[in-house]
Amino acid sequence: MLEVEALTKRFGDVHAVDEVALVVPRGQMLGVIGRSGAGKSTLLRMLNRLSDPSDGRIRFDGVDVTALMGAELRRWRARCAMIFQQFNLVGRLDVITNVLLGRLNGHGLLSSMTANFTAAERADAIRALDRLDMAQTALQRADTLSGGQQQRVAIARAMMQRPDILLADEPIASLDPRNATVVMEALQRINGEDGITVICNLHTLDTARAYCDRVIGMERGRIVFDGPPSQLDEPTVRRIYGVEAAEQLSESVTSTSLSAA
Ligand SMILES: Nc1ncnc2c1ncn2[C@@H]1O[C@H](COP(=O)(O)OP(=O)(O)O)[C@@H](O)[C@H]1O
Ligand SMILES: [Mg+2]
């Protein structure tokens, strides 16, 4: 169980994350929504300690994550793997090496890209790729893949860390709708089959509705909604996204009902 208490990050006068409190049970698929600048990325970065909080506390299974240092901190970062909008693969390396780098990450040995991997590690990497239907690309350079394929490789790399939590910062923001679906379904499968907690920043409400058990809405660093997506009513959506976006939303509702008619 992940517990966040009064978590705050200040950049000068800006409260990027402002006294956020959150309890995430193991195995939940949690969506974080909000406008650009609401604090979603800052929250995620604090959870895996890429960024240090100004105030507040993070606990995981009773351990104070905010106090970890050195090797313990590296271990924590490995336990919450992160994927990004821009995939962050090493383009000139082949796919399997990119996936194997996920294992190095856990050992804090990222300095060496020419490390020798064992046959067992390579077999693990192929299995991770195979689960994402990407094993056939193992020997291709990463920069020859489409965006959707690169994100699946990034997920395979994250899985090599054997994480408890997978943090995804707008993982489908650069993808076309078809690839977005493939990537969200992959995250959903990992969540369901492996019981890995997934915390996923999402720009769009439709995606959160379709894939998440629970949604948190952020506005100016604060949580303004926390519940199942079915409870997101129009005033709440308006608050989270602003009037303009809420109007677009009701347009999409109208066009859906028209096409259904
Ligand atoms: N490194 C930083 N330095 C200064 N301000 C930052 C930094 N990172 C984020 N911010 C500010 O914190 C707020 C929240 O940003 P962010 O977490 O990136 O929001 P989101 O991911 O929801 O778009 C914004 O006002 C942003 O400008
Ligand atoms: Mg962001």
Residue nearest to atom 12 of ligand 1 (CA): 16
Which residues have C-beta atoms less than 6 Å from ligand 1? 11, 14, 16, 34, 36-42
Residue 161: what pLDDT? 92
Domain CATH number, residue 193: 3.40.50.300
Instruction: Give the sign of the dihedral formed by CA 84, CA 90, CA 96, CA 99.
Output: negative
CA distance 234 to 253: 11
DSSP for the chain reads: -EEEEEEEEEETTEEEEEEEEEEE-TT-EEEEE--TTSSHHHHHHHHTTSS--SEEEEEETTEEGGG--HHHHHHHHHHEEEEETT----TTSBHHHHHHHHHHHHHT-TT-SSPPPPHHHHHHHHHHHHHTT-GGGTTSBGGGS-HHHHHHHHHHHHHTT--SEEEEESTTTTS-HHHHHHHHHHHHHHHHHH--EEEEEES-HHHHHHH-SEEEEEETTEEEEEE-GGG--HHHHHHHHHHHHHHHHHHHHHHHHHHH-
pLDDT at 246 over 70: no
* Residue 138 forms part of a structural domain: yes
Residue nearest to atom 7 of ligand 1 (CA): 11
- Ligand 1 atom nearest to 201, measured from its CA: 21
Residue nearest to atom 25 of ligand 1 (CA): 37
Ligand nearest to the CA of 38: 1
Mean pLDDT over residues 173-199, rounded?
95
Question: 189-240, pLDDT tens digit by residue?
Answer: 999 999 999 999 998 899 999 999 999 999 999 999 999 999 999 989 998 9
Residue 118: what pLDDT? 86
Tokens standing for 1? 């169980």
Residue 260: what pLDDT? 38
* Residue 215 forms part of a structural domain: yes
- Ligand 1 atom nearest to 39, measured from its CA: 17
3-state SS string over 158-196?
HHCCCCCEEEEECCCCCCCHHHHHHHHHHHHHHHHHHCC
Residue 64: what pLDDT? 97
**Range of 214's domain?**
2-236
- Ligand 1 atom nearest to 36, measured from its CA: 23
37 CA to centre of ligand 1 in angstroms: 5
What domain count does the chain have? Answer: 1
Question: 41-94, pLDDT tens digit by residue?
Answer: 999 999 999 999 999 999 999 999 999 999 999 999 999 999 999 999 999 999
Question: 247-258, pLDDT tens digit by residue?
Answer: 655 555 444 434
Residue 116: what pLDDT? 75
- Ligand 1 atom nearest to 218, measured from its CA: 22
Question: 101-149, pLDDT tens digit by residue?
Answer: 988 754 445 445 556 788 899 999 999 999 999 999 999 999 999 999 9
170 CA to centre of ligand 2 in angstroms: 7
- Angle, helices 177-194 vs 147-159, to 10°: value is 20
Give the position of tokens 């489908």. Answer: 172
CA distance 227 to 36: 21
